[in-house]
Amino acid sequence: MYKLFLCLRYLRSKVFAYFAVLGVALCVWMMLVSVSVMTGFLNKIEKAAKGLFGDIVIEGRGERGLAWYDEFIAKMKAEVPEVEAAGPFILGLGILRVEGDSDFRQHVQIAGIRLPDRAVETDFETGLFVQVGQAKPTFDPPLDQATAAIKRHQQEMRKIVEREFAKELAELAPQSRADVLENLNNLQFALSAYELSPEKYDLLARIDNAAWHQSSALARLEIARHKQSDLAQLQEKLRQAKANPQTTETEIEGIQESIDDLINLTHMEPADKRVILGLGIQGLSFRTEKGETIRYIVPGHRIILNVAPLGKKMSLSGISMNIAKFTVIDDSKTDVSSIDDKLVYIPFDTLQQLNNMHAEYDAENPNVMLTPACCSQIHVKIKDLPNGQKPDEADLQRIASKIKGVWQEFANEYARKFPNDPQLQPALHDVSIDTWRQRQIAVIGPIEQQRMLVIIITGIMSIVAVALIFVILYTIVMQKTREIGVLKAVGASSWGVASLFFAYGAAIGFVGSVIGTIAGYFTTKHINAIQNWAEAMFGLHVWDRKSFMFEFIPNEVDWTMACFILAGSILAGLVGALIPAIRAARMQPVEALRYE
């Protein structure tokens, strides 16, 4: 009993014990924050990579890519039971323009995807604007969903304005403040009449501009909603007309023209001409200093894509771009800035056409296929293991090699089928089948090494903490020599005295690591705010969005690591206490009492 009691008392009354606690806390804090951030970063990469490409990626080298993909997917699903879902994917290059803005152009990567299949293969649906979290996102969602999303976004914009201009609002007279707030609700800003700093003026102008763009999209969506039934009727009429052999060309053209007129009015292209924008493309949105994104271009706007048809054989005279108009229907945020700032998603079949990867037939004999339809990649999602856990890298590699076997068989099958026609083979060049990790190893490898390095460095620094505990406890043992004699004189055993100092060391380790963990928790949680503050205060730019790919520093605490650190700190305390405790235990009471 006295051990605990004295231990607490010593801890409270010895000022230099605080230094040991502080030392431990510092080490724990440093280790926890850096490891948490790095682990969080790795987790984010994993999530982003899986979210974009699935667990395993099959890719055909060369621009023609992979043919007979649907046949292969069916075979793979039948023969590899671990496959949960798989879908073809095309990556193309293009230039994005916005209708009505001849100044704007931006090169983009165009992803051809199948919806809603893709939501099964990847986590695509979690980052959507309109169809967020919906299990089956499509390129043709109900239009009122888009309207609701924009309205929600405008609500956020109002909050930003109210926050950023709280000071200016407070200075207004009550009556005019009410007017301004009223205007604010309609996103019409009268604040510009007041004196604002250039930055604030700029922000207000941008939000104003965004609100103006959004209102035009909202108006188009409203018209489209009203004209939806008209359009459906016309389309039905067109279908019937085409089915009826007695209809003349002129009649069909007439119906087609009315449909085109309607589309020009509503700006709502048919479902195969819809686009989901990456949220972060330069000029289509902007980011406030606090990190919120405000959209200029929202669902309801129309854009133009010039697609470079990479799937086509190139002649010396070059290639001409394929052009198509698309209606924006949603936007997607993966949190990987290098993807969000240049990727747009359109329906798979549409991009196949625009990229010239569709099947081609002999002009004279439509039954003779010249080239089969192709895709660039097949993304595969793997089922959870029977025990409910996510498959790890080793599982994925095992499954990947299984898929390789299936692919080999498949390729051989087609080689026998079309022995003289290489164009009809599944692939013209090598095919790689890799796990998400193998594809990202260039990014992941160095980070994992860095994490190890941080653990080692902070581990070495922890030796200093151990030494600190040792020195402090040793000093206390020397100081307390006579008191140790007294304790023994009143009946304390050697082990009892030793355990007093062990408890003391462990307590320093424990208290230190608890303080360090709490500090680490708050630092990690608010690391983005701290980074912003450091940037504003000292111009310190630690987290470069470009090189780290992500918008925000990961701020999840690595609790597994925290447990290890806690155990390690207590161990460090015990190690530091070892020699002092032994010394105290071996002290003869008489000598201890004589000690001056």
Residue placing its CB nearer to other proteins in the complex, 151 or 594? 594
Query: Angle 166-168-169 (CA atoms, 0-180°, nearest 5)?
Result: 65
Residue placing its CB nearer to other proteins in the complex, 245 or 491? 491
Cβ 517 to other proteins shortest distance, Å: 26
Cβ 481 to other proteins shortest distance, Å: 11
Distance CA 459, CA 457 (A): 5
Query: Angle 560-565-567 (CA atoms, 0-180°, nearest 5)?
Result: 100
Residue placing its CB nearer to other proteins in the complex, 234 or 492? 492
Contacts of 417 (CB under 8 A, 6+ apart): 424
Residue placing its CB nearer to other proteins in the complex, 26 or 585? 585
Cβ 587 to other proteins shortest distance, Å: 11
Three-state DSSP class for residue 213:
helix
Cβ 9 to other proteins shortest distance, Å: 5
Cβ 470 to other proteins shortest distance, Å: 21
Residue placing its CB nearer to other proteins in the complex, 450 or 493? 493
Residue placing its CB nearer to other proteins in the complex, 182 or 591? 591
Measure CA 152 to chain center: 22
Residue placing its CB nearer to other proteins in the complex, 9 or 526? 9
Cβ 6 to other proteins shortest distance, Å: 7
3-state SS of 374-443 is EECEEEEEECCCCCCCCCCHHHHHHHHHHHHHHHHHHHHHHHHHCCCCHHHCCECCCEEEEEHHHHHHHH
Residue placing its CB nearer to other proteins in the complex, 359 or 489? 489
Beta bridge partners of 282: 285
Secondary structure E strands in 118-259: none
* Binding stretches for other proteins (CB under 8 A): 1-2, 4-6, 9-10, 13, 482-483, 485-494, 496, 588-590, 593
Number of alpha carbons in the 13 Å side-chain half-sphere of residue 72: 31
**Contact by Cβ (8 Å): 10, 502:** no
Residue placing its CB nearer to other proteins in the complex, 454 or 593? 593
Cβ 583 to other proteins shortest distance, Å: 18
Tell me the longest C-alpha to C-alpha distance in the chain: 123
Measure CA 186 to chain center: 33
Cβ 3 to other proteins shortest distance, Å: 9
Residue placing its CB nearer to other proteins in the complex, 5 or 533? 5
Cβ 483 to other proteins shortest distance, Å: 5
Distance CA 177, CA 30 (A): 47
Three-state DSSP class for residue 491:
coil
Cβ 444 to other proteins shortest distance, Å: 50
Residue in 557, 109, 141 with CA at minimum distance from that of residue 377:
109
Cβ 504 to other proteins shortest distance, Å: 12
Distance CA 328, CA 345 (A): 10
**Contact by Cβ (8 Å): 513, 300:** no
Residue placing its CB nearer to other proteins in the complex, 357 or 581? 581
**Contact by Cβ (8 Å): 308, 61:** no
Cβ 51 to other proteins shortest distance, Å: 53
Beta bridge partners of 59: 377, 432
Residue placing its CB nearer to other proteins in the complex, 188 or 479? 479
Residue 429 dihedral angles phi and psi, to the nearest 5°: -125, -165
Cβ 466 to other proteins shortest distance, Å: 25
Distance CA 575, CA 589 (A): 25
Which residue is it, tokens 């160095």?
446
Residue placing its CB nearer to other proteins in the complex, 11 or 443? 11
Burial code (b: 16+ CB inside 10 Å, e: under 16) for 289-307 equals eeeebbbbbbbbbbbebbb
Residue in 452, 451, 444 with CA at minimum distance from that of residue 549:
444
**Contact by Cβ (8 Å): 343, 276:** no
